[in-house]
Chains A and B, each alone.
Chain A
């Protein structure tokens, strides 16, 4: 079983890296872009035999306590 954790900046938090990427994207001719926000993506693999509920709980714990800083970031967990 695997979990995917997405960490994204909260709305309104300045993202200078996203802005720089946006600017560079415009330099290669992409003029229809309104905004680019940079985030982080994590893949967590679990040991065999773990149940979905347990995997979700573990992924939520690591997402909440470690991968995201709640002051500036949100996180989202997907299990597959």
Chain B
């Protein structure tokens, strides 16, 4: 379809675009163009500048430099409404829908149909909403609320909402991160339709197979600059990875010989009604225990309840032979069981504080005598962890929000390494993180296990789960359905087990 690509017009062109954050040049005189009706993948490690570049496009900054053309016209994208008016639509990982109100109202927000100039025209609203839903192949009652529909359906509603403003360029930032394989297929069908209608799609993703399936061209960014733009059929996945990383990567998962000791975590019949039921498992010193499952299988819910962050209806938890008497996070922490949150932005990091303040936030108690806090350890500890995890930051006192996603994730892990846990529950420790950072995080996890900690690893990234785990328990629909030893672990076997099929 794009064989005679030269005849296809340019939908978007950025010339010499730069954006500076305090201390870093996040986007460095980038020239980028996307054609009408193409799916243009934008790839790069976290911190390469993709997100910032797209935020510029979305009108999030009024102080970028360089020029942007939509079609032939030069435009200034200094506010989100300006960007929208010029036909730029954005779909982020996090949805922008209001959960307690109906699909129709979400879709038509800001332009709800009225009669007599004031009253809501309910019939017209439902009709228009249905029409928008049709465009993404969504067959739902538009008067249902977002709370009532599933995550992938909400994502389609989000797309329908953005399409409602008739964009000519649609940016999708990791749209598949929370979708099951089936839903991804459906999403790709819709992307192809949009493309046929002449909409330009800029597709940001870390998933190589997805990019090779859906994209027409791919642009690779590194360190704020564009490395290259290629038609997808002229590159191979290893070539792309090499351009992203800047060096060839060889062995990803290190082979290790786990030194497994006695059981330190033993849980029996954990139940939180409606979330998970009768979950029992154990974890041993020096062991990495993987928890596999599809989205919605109840893994995160189980982990949060186990650590005392969420309620628990019944069940017992034993840490190092001692049963936890109280169900609270502070009790779990006293026993050395820590939980690394799956969402670093909302409840993992203190985004407005510095790297140092984040790193030492979990060990305040330890450095307090009679209520007086001593900060003497802070610099040494932070420097040590920065070196250990290879965190790229201008200084220990830089705001953690100025770091790239991968480095933020390392800070989050560093905070828990500083706390010196007995049991560390890791929930998606490398979600949305680039390859180099991921390798570093994996190395740190292995080191923790080798030092005698028990690791409970929840991950949707199958290579990661299979590569790191010594043993895997599988959850499905809130139940723990099977356990797999190291010798039986492969991506295929775990995937089958997650889907409830005998492996």
Q: Do they bind each other?
A: no
Q: Which residues of B contact A (CB under 8 A)?
A: none
Q: Which residues of A contact B (CB under 8 A)?
A: none
